[in-house]
Structure 1
Amino acid sequence: MDKPLYIDKRLSVPPHAIETTAIRASGPGGQSVNKTNSAVQLRCDLNSFHIPETYRRRIARFRDGRITEEGVIVIKAQNHRSQARNLEDAIRRLQSLLRKAIHVDPVRIKTRASYSSQQRAVKKSKRRSEIKGLRGKVKDW
């Protein structure tokens, strides 16, 4: 990787912070599984480059088993048969993880129901009450 990985406008991961290693994939694969290093382990050290403090706090609070206590993100990609595709997958997953970790939902603005919608709800409720009231036993006069 020779160019920075852009997460958003304020955060990009420089190439020196990302370390990739080719490892053997687990699972089925026949005879070649024991001799090819097609899986990729990606390690991103969040302490080796500048991150805005608000982002650093959000990432630290983000509960994910791939982020260690020391601030290193470890991702293992082994879904594809080729090492190049596994590397692309690992980088895409790192990008996705960081975007999810720094995302903040916008503050919800409370709204009131309109007067007419309240009246419709009351009318509907009264109608349902009448219908259910008619389901009782019939009285003999």
Structure 2
Amino acid sequence: MIQVTPTFTISDDEFTERMVKASGPGGQHVNKSSNAVELRFDVGASTLPDDAKERLRRLAGSRLSGDDVLILFSQGSRSLEMNRQEARSRLADLVRQALHRPKSRRPTKPTYSSKLKRLEGKTRRSGVKSMRSKPGKED
């Protein structure tokens, strides 16, 4: 079981872990041991709320397969258990971000004084630029 927030957990039957051979250096031992972890989480069949599922799909990006399964691959450590913990914590982080509802933006209007200040600045800048020009025939 993965504890995502104090109120939300992911049970072990909602995701599957598969041990695969890691790529990279490792000498003779690398061809004998499977110490990389591939974690698969079915977003569509999960117990997440629908709005959180949509946010998770957006956060997952290319890690989401065509059949709505989030695939996380961990091979950073030589230890199988550490790779397993890393994959689970990455899943928990993604789900935690997806569960967070963003605040809705309330549109505001500029104040009267800020409008006046902006227009005064425009007038001052216009005056500076007009003084840079060559004098006309009437001057």
TM bucket (normalised to shorter chain) is 0.7 to 0.9
Out of 88, 101, 105, the residue aligned to residue 104 of structure 1 is: 101
- Alignment counterpart, residue 129 of structure 2, candidates 129, 132, 135: 132
| Equivalent residues in 2 for 1:50-89, closer than 5 Å | 50-56=47-53, 58-59=55-56, 64-89=61-86
Q: 1:47 to 1:115 in 2, by over 3 A?
A: closer
Tell me, in whole angstroms, the C-alpha distance in 1 between the residues paired with 2:70 and 2:118. 51
1:115 Cα deviation from its structure 2 partner = 1.4
Q: 2:24 aligns with which of 7, 27, 32?
A: 27
**How much does 1:33 deviate?**
2.7
2:88 maps to a residue whose letter is I
* Structure 2 letter corresponding to 1:7: V
Matching of residue 41 in structure 1 with residue 38 in structure 2: yes
Q: Distance in 2 between the 1:134 and 1:31 partners?
A: 79
Q: Distance in 2 between matches of 1:98 and 1:62?
A: 9
Match of residue 15, structure 1, among 5, 12, 16: 12
* Per-residue deviation, 1:76: 0.7
Per-residue Cα deviation, 1:72-107 (whole angstroms, up to 9, x for no partner):
322111122222221121111111222334443221
Q: CA RMSD in A?
A: 2.8
Percent identical residues: 30
1:42: Cα distance to partner? 1.1
Question: 1-side partners of 2:45 and 2:17: how far apart?
Answer: 15
Q: TM-score w.r.t. structure 2 length?
A: 0.76
Spell out, residue by residue over 1:101-123, the C-alpha distance to the aligned partner (whole angstroms, 9 max, x if none). 44432210111111111111111
Q: Hey, what's the Cα distance between the residues in 2 that align with 1:85 and 1:77?
A: 9
Q: TM-score, normalised by structure 1?
A: 0.75
> One-letter code of the match for 2:107?
K
CA distance in 1, matches of 2:117, 2:45: 60
- Gap runs ≥5 in structure 2: none
- How far residue 127 of structure 1 moved from its aligned partner, in angstroms, is 0.9
Deviates more, 1:37-46 or 1:59-68: 59-68
Structure 1 unpaired stretches of 5+ = none
Letter of the structure 1 residue corresponding to residue 21 of structure 2: R
